[in-house]
Structure 1
Amino acid sequence: MPLIDPVLLKDRLATQSGRFDVDALDECDSTSSELLRRADRGAPSGTVVVADRQTAGRGRRGRQWLSQPEQSLTFSLLWRFPGNAMRLAGLSLAVGLAVAEALEQLGAQGVRLKWPNDILLAQGDGFAKLGGILIELTSDRRGAQAVIGIGINLAPPAGDLLQPAAGLGQAMRQVPERHVLFAAILERLAVILDLFAVHGFPGAKTAWQRLHAWQDMPVSILGEERVITGTCLGVDDDGSLLLQTESGIERILSGDVSLRRA
């Protein structure tokens, strides 16, 4: 399978093409690690690194995310915001919304969101992981910068997995050509990130809850020290998870939890 061609991608981005500077690599350790190195050298907002193969891709909680061109689309996007990183609460949820809406626009059905950074696919009475997001934030005198890593399964991953996994081909009749898919995601990201820069996460909260996999359902939150059970009310304006328990509403602030249907 050939590399992503930035020229072909630019044609498909149309009016948004000037917002992105895309570099396609055959292989790298991690697109986010590579982009962080470029950011340190002054890379502008909108810089994108996409790789057909990652040898040390990073996922949530230090997990590895490996990629192959026929099985996944993996890339990282650098985006700069005014102010400090404290203003970026809920950014991973807004990014997840952008990806999910792009997939819906291409005809995918059953795409859902899991707090704080997973893209899911409804299967029967459960869900399988379709993709993931990892955001790394830093601040300096110029403002805040986010390196946004995104991985989407085109085909279900093979091997022993910690949780059920799905491929985009299970959500639609035919997986779009990779340039079409990539352009659709980048275009929607530009719209949502512009909205986020002005309004923060509150501007995306209602849309995110429309796609929330466990909205108003009984769930269990498995933390490091305790299990919390209640009804998931969605998210607060800062992106924290809201859980109705017997003792009242609890706000779950840390993303280092395991969320399961009760």
Structure 2
Amino acid sequence: MQWPVQVVGATGSTNADLVAAVRRGEGGPRVLAARRQDAGRGRLDRGWSSPDGASVAVSWLWRPARPQRDRTWLPMVVGLGVVDAVRALGLRSVALKWPNDVVVPAGPRSDGEQGATTGLRKLAGVLVEVATAPDGTAHVVAGVGLNVGQQSDDLPVPSATSLLLATGRDPGFDAALDALVVHVGRRLDDWGSGAARDAALREDYRTACTTPGRVVHVRTPGGSVDGTAEDVDDDGCLVVVTDDGTRHRLSAGDVEHVR
């Protein structure tokens, strides 16, 4: 698939802009990137803003040919593409925390640090949304926020990091955007090619995901679950086994790696 790219100087949210475009009857495929984003959103409606040129806010818009039941893996497929891009930019230690937080190793969290995961720092986030056109057709908007050149004081929380902090080198906005467009686009093309590629995508995701095998605390819409993450199943659910042996299949949640 060809992904035409538009870059703007600043916007509130690249995802919101593309969702609005779909509702006006505009289609894709297309990519919208911003050098500065002031009102982005992450999962669970967390804010995500980015200073001018120091990070990449980018969103993909397309109308998927695959049915809705096949889209549960899309957020993880996008996260896997971000991992590919970051590795291409020279950071080999990057991984995924279920479902699609892009993380890198770091020292243990400090006392009083909230929302962090022991030994990991968040480098990028992913948000996938469905937008409905006036004719009733469903389109997908997939957004990525990647921290590129921020110093520690530029980051909103101590549990975040940037490519500059993780590698000592700032690749720059253009190189980071190019890598994301290539590698996320490639993973989306793999997913879009149909079920023939699904097994390979799932295996690549499980290899990149650092959550299975960890003791975790998961906040879900229905309450919290504490236990050991056993696997990510074929539906993309995180399987957590609690101390009493109960297995929970979690389709959504905010995961903290306890150890």
TM superposition score category, shorter chain reference: 0.7 to 0.9
Find 1:171's aligned residue among 166, 174, 187: 166
Give the Cα separation in 2 of the matches to 1:143 and 1:202. 28
After superposition, the Cα gap between the structure-2 partners of 1:165 and 1:58, relative to the gap in structure 1 and judged at 3 Å, is same
For residues 207-222 of structure 1, the aligned pairs below 5 Å read 207-222=204-219
For residues 121-132 of structure 1, the aligned pairs below 5 Å read 121-125=104-108, 126-132=119-125
Find 1:135's aligned residue among 128, 148, 156: 128
Identity %: 28
Give the Cα separation in 2 of the matches to 1:21 and 1:159. 31
Query: What is aligned with 1:101?
Result: 84
CA RMSD of aligned residues (A): 2.4
Q: Is 1:87 matched with 2:80?
A: no
Could you tell me whether the CA contact under 8 Å between 1:21 and 1:47 is conserved in 2?
yes
Measured after TM superposition, the shift of residue 45 of structure 1 is 2.6
Aligned partner letter, 2:121: A
Measured after TM superposition, the shift of residue 249 of structure 1 is 2.4
Query: What is aligned with 1:78?
Result: 61
After superposition, the Cα gap between the structure-2 partners of 1:48 and 1:160, relative to the gap in structure 1 and judged at 3 Å, is closer
Query: What is aligned with 1:44?
Result: 27
Give the Cα separation in 2 of the matches to 1:228 and 1:176. 39
For residues 195-234 of structure 1, the aligned pairs below 5 Å read 195-197=190-192, 198-199=194-195, 202-223=199-220, 226-234=223-231
Q: Is 1:147 matched with 2:141?
A: yes
In the alignment, structure 1 segments of 5+ residues that lack a partner are 1-17
Give the Cα separation in 1 of the matches to 2:205 and 2:166. 19
SS of the residue corresponding to residue 47 of structure 2 reads coil
Aligned partner letter, 2:102: I
* TM-score normalised by length of structure 2: 0.84
Give the Cα separation in 1 of the matches to 2:68 and 2:152. 34
Measured after TM superposition, the shift of residue 241 of structure 1 is 0.6
Aligned partner letter, 2:216: V
Measured after TM superposition, the shift of residue 24 of structure 1 is 1.6
Measured after TM superposition, the shift of residue 31 of structure 1 is 0.8
SS of the residue corresponding to residue 20 of structure 1 reads coil
SS of the residue corresponding to residue 146 of structure 2 reads strand
* TM-score normalised by length of structure 1: 0.83
Offset from partner CA, 1:214-248 (integer Å, 9 cap, x none): 22122222335543222212311111111123323
Give the Cα separation in 2 of the matches to 1:38 and 1:139. 10
